[in-house]
A and B are shown apart, each in its own frame.
Chain A
């Protein structure tokens, strides 16, 4: 197809991990080409080595790993043979990189404009005055609002999307030939992500850059990739033009990954109108106030504004929104982990908001929670058996009985009974989420609140856990409040969906209706922003 020679040619790259790691090589014989004007997406789950490839291309590998063989050809030279000065000359000028977390990737004590101007200073170009002018024009080019103000601002004063734009501006300042992007949109909201992806695509086309884009999100790959390289355990399992990889995946792993991505088409669901109300939430209000001391005004953030919804027995209600929408706060208000300013939460006939102390604790077993971070939701110093059995024991169950039940629960979630005696750090993220589910079920609740329960998991593990949740829900007749920012997951698992923005529910409808005919402007914007909806969407 393209007869232009590749800008970068990686050949048989092998990067060794230190002794004692899960495998000897982080990257094991990877070869790929980057061509001018084309975006190559390197996809893989966590631990696939994709980030290492990106860092190797910039010579920014950590000291703990070492390149044992291979070469990276760029502009007639093997980059792996460069010395420090050689790298410093190329970095920023011919090769540029943008990172995942824009907040930590910027120096918190330096103004944005100064950090941009540094690019020129590093390579001895332009006078200070010219650099400042260039910084301003770069800020304008990446679409930063009010560039004069932004250039004089500090990183913490910008939003996540603005920080990422600033990083992109920095990367492009010297018009490099190659851009390496290491998961640049993973930490951003879906609407912001859509904007940044568009920006990267436009800039890349205008400057005919070769781009290596690292991601784990197939939707993003579908939207922007020209070439796709799939990595697993440090090896390339599949590569090719994006259209072909999506329509005719060759390797089993690729097929499994594509199948695991939830589709945007909600499945048909049986109506539940005749069921009783399991949860009733009326007029929930919560405002966070940070006191300004004696001389300043208080700062107020609305986490929940007059939130109303019901969940019927056996129903899954989804609460979707971006960061700052208040969805997590609402989950915690319903669980009474935090206190609402106003409002009622009713479980069946019991008004939870009227209870406190011992009375509240006695009712808590009826509504349980699964948390987001599998690594922070289990006490690292307690055995799995205790973690699961603690709740029932506190409610008065005999310890032996509780432990037996824990054994049964572990089996129910797909883990073997030996786990009872082990500690959390011995398990993977997906396994820990299963343990979290077992803990939630130990008290035989009527309702489960899942707060971004699968967001921290790899897509293949995510699919398994979602299947488990659906299965258990059906078997045990549970109702579920499912909080997520991922609309694909919501589409597949929720009966009805409530869309939240800045503390208020802007639209609440059955899933199929919401996706087919969204009414509110924000809902439409949200749905449109989900990556990977073009004809090249993964095969269902």
Chain B
């Protein structure tokens, strides 16, 4: 564990990513407590430019709502949706991939056909259709994003398990009489997890992009303010009030960038050491 943190801190991308992530989480968790203004309330005249009034540092939107408050509360939605949908996708994808890779044969065939089917469907289009049909709410959004995100996980886990299954120490476990469950859980998965962890951080980034795109198109939860929604709402008045679209977009950009950087840092930290073993 200590080794892991040391290598993680050695990569500059990892450090920057961690800083951004910690910042984002702090804003999401503590923001609403420190700045309790509701983002839905009209607090000033509409279209107040940013940096003019200290109580509304980032200006107001078409209805006089505080843009800064919107961004604080929006952080919660984006991060929550990102994390939960990724978790669900992992809970679905990892077992499917592990079973397909370990048991092979017909199980593998069946599970892979199923996975391929989902992978062929354009993910954003499917997400739109699902949210539209199920009516937009935070639950349908999380579910839709999870549904379109799990196939790459399954694919990756299957590939790793497949290659590990023929690794000699796994064969040794079979030969010494271990049960299948034990082998999958103690020998294979711990060694297969590193690429999955890297993928997970990238998935959270993609989930945030998906959620904001859905909200932009008007498919967000109508009771929750989200960065995508704010950009969408400001689209028609972009000529008069550029700040309504710019600031939330920057927030999305920074969050996603931070998560991508963490992914890079994780990749550097968890990759097998290019050791000069036995050469």
Contact = CB atoms under 8 A, between A and B. Distances in A.
Direct A/B contact, Cβ within 8 angstroms: yes
Contacts of B171: 337, 369, 371
Contacts of A368: 175-176
Interface in A32-90: 46-47
A375 B278 contact: yes
A47 B179 CA distance: 40
A369 to B, nearest CB: 5
Nearest to B278: A429
Given A46-B278, A375-B277, A376-B167, A390 B176 contact: yes
Contact of A439 (B172, B174, B186, B187): B172
A390 B191 contact: no
Nearest to A367: B175
B168 A364 contact: no
Contacts of B186: 382
B191 A380 contact: yes
Contact of A425 (B169, B174, B275): B275
A371 B172 contact: yes
Contact of B278 (A364, A374, A381, A443): A374
B55 to A, nearest CB: 55
Contacts of A377: 168-169, 172
A376 B169 contact: yes
A interface, by DSSP: helix, strand, loop or mixed? loop
A31 B98 CA distance: 55
Interface in A437-462: 439, 442-443, 456
Contact of B279 (A46, A369, A443): A46
Interface in B177-193: 177-179, 182, 186-187, 190-191
A391 B177 contact: yes
A47 B276 CA distance: 10
B173 interface: yes
Interface residues of A, number: 36
Contacts of B175: 335, 337, 364, 368-369
A202 interface: no
A111 interface: no
A488 interface: no
Given A375-B277, A381-B190, A381-B191, A390 B178 contact: yes
Contacts of A374: 278
A474 interface: no
Nearest to B277: A375
A376 B167 CA distance: 6
Given A46-B278, A379-B187, A429-B278, A390 B168 contact: no
A378 interface: yes
A439 B176 contact: yes
Given A46-B278, A375-B278, A391 B176 contact: yes
Nearest to A380: B191
A158 interface: no
B112 to A, nearest CB: 14
B179 A373 contact: no
B278 A362 contact: no
B102 to A, nearest CB: 14
Contacts of A382: 186
A361 interface: yes
Nearest to B275: A425
B78 to A, nearest CB: 35
Interface string B1-38: 00000000000000000000000000000000000000
A244 interface: no
B275 to A, nearest CB: 7
Given A335-B175, A429-B278, A394 B182 contact: yes
A365 interface: yes
A146 B187 CA distance: 48
Interface string B186-203: 110011000000000000
A533 B80 CA distance: 73
Nearest to B188: A379
A274 B190 CA distance: 49
Interface in A489-516: none
Contact of B176 (A47, A380, A394): A394
Interface in B136-172: 167-169, 171-172
B279 A47 contact: yes
Given A365-B176, A379-B173, 16 more contacts: A21-B276, A361-B178, A364-B176, A365-B177, A368-B175, A369-B175, A376-B167, A376-B168, A376-B169, A377-B168, A377-B172, A378-B169, A382-B186, A391-B178, A425-B277, A443-B177
30 contacts: A21-B276, A47-B279, A337-B171, A361-B178, A364-B175, A365-B177, A368-B176, A369-B171, A371-B171, A374-B278, A375-B277, A376-B168, A376-B169, A377-B169, A378-B169, A379-B169, A379-B187, A379-B191, A390-B173, A390-B176, A390-B178, A394-B176, A394-B177, A394-B178, A394-B179, A425-B275, A428-B278, A436-B172, A443-B176, A456-B278
Across chains A and B, which 7 residue pairs bring their CB atoms closest together, nearest first?
Answer: A391-B176, A377-B168, A364-B177, A371-B168, A379-B169, A361-B177, A376-B168
Interface of A: 21, 46-47, 335, 337, 361-362, 364-365, 368-369, 371-382, 387, 390-391, 394-395, 425, 428-429, 436, 439, 442-443, 456
